[in-house]
Amino acid sequence: MKLFLDTASVSEIRRMWEVGILDGVTTNPSLVSKEGRVFEDIIEEICALGVPSVSAEVVATDVDGMLREGHHLAALHPSIYVKIPMTAAGLQATKQLSREKIRVNMTLVFSANQALLAAKVGAAYVSPFIGRLDDQGQDGMELIRDIHTIYQAYKYPTEILVASIRHPIHVLEAAKIGADIGTMPFAVMEKLVQHPLTDIGLARFLKDWEKVPVRAKVTGPGPQSTR
């Protein structure tokens, strides 16, 4: 499963990109507004890191506006996926952009029928928001199962991008279902790395190692930490 960060913070993205576990980034208008920076500057900086998939969202709600913004965003960098909301206008715009080979991420998807429509108009990604469904007392992961079943039955190439992930169990469940991508906040991705038994085990190994004689001391702080 590909792992994406759901953030517009370039420093968070840089951190995970350096670790080497990041496959892409999704942004949305709310995440961008938190940064207080020029939208296109943020998107171009993320793309310049080499991140191969960067979703940037349109804010127009009519077809012509979505197409205009979609063209503008797609022209910023070849890694851009244009994020378009799941509305009748969004479906129409997605069909047109897909014909032009501009990749669309259909967002704000809350039902399997909406996901079926996204696939029919040629969306590259479909983004079901599972956390927001859980918040409403509905099982968000059940939606991922349904979309996966439908896409497999008809061999739709649209990738399932599980969005609104809130904790590591969401990532685990999505991976077990076979979802293509999970997008998550930085804090959730950090938790995927950590385990208390890893920390305890490492501390014990290092303690025991203090008693071992070695010919040459090659371990120790690297150049960055000797300042």
Residue 15 binds ligand G3P (CB under 6 A):
no
Residue 28 binds ligand G3P (CB under 6 A):
yes
Residue 114 binds ligand G3P (CB under 6 A):
no
# of chain residues touching ligand G3P (CB under 6 A): 9
Smallest distance from ligand G3P to CB 27, Å: 7
The footprint of ligand G3P on residues 170-199 (CB under 6 A) is: 183
**CB of 6 or CB of 12, closer to ligand G3P:** 6
Q: Among the candidate windows 40-48, 125-133, 137-145, 213-221, which touches ligand G3P by CB under 6 A?
A: 125-133
Residue 53 binds ligand G3P (CB under 6 A):
no
**CB of 44 or CB of 134, closer to ligand G3P:** 134
- Residue 176 designated active-site: no
28-62 burial: b if 16+ Cβ within 10 Å, else e: beebbeeeeeebeebbeebbeeebebbbbbbebee
Among positions 4, 17, 39, 129, the unique one binding ligand G3P when judged by CB under 6 A:
129
Task: Give the interface with ligand G3P as residue ranges (CB under 6 A).
Answer: 6, 26, 28, 129, 131-132, 163-164, 183
Catalytic (active-site) positions: 83
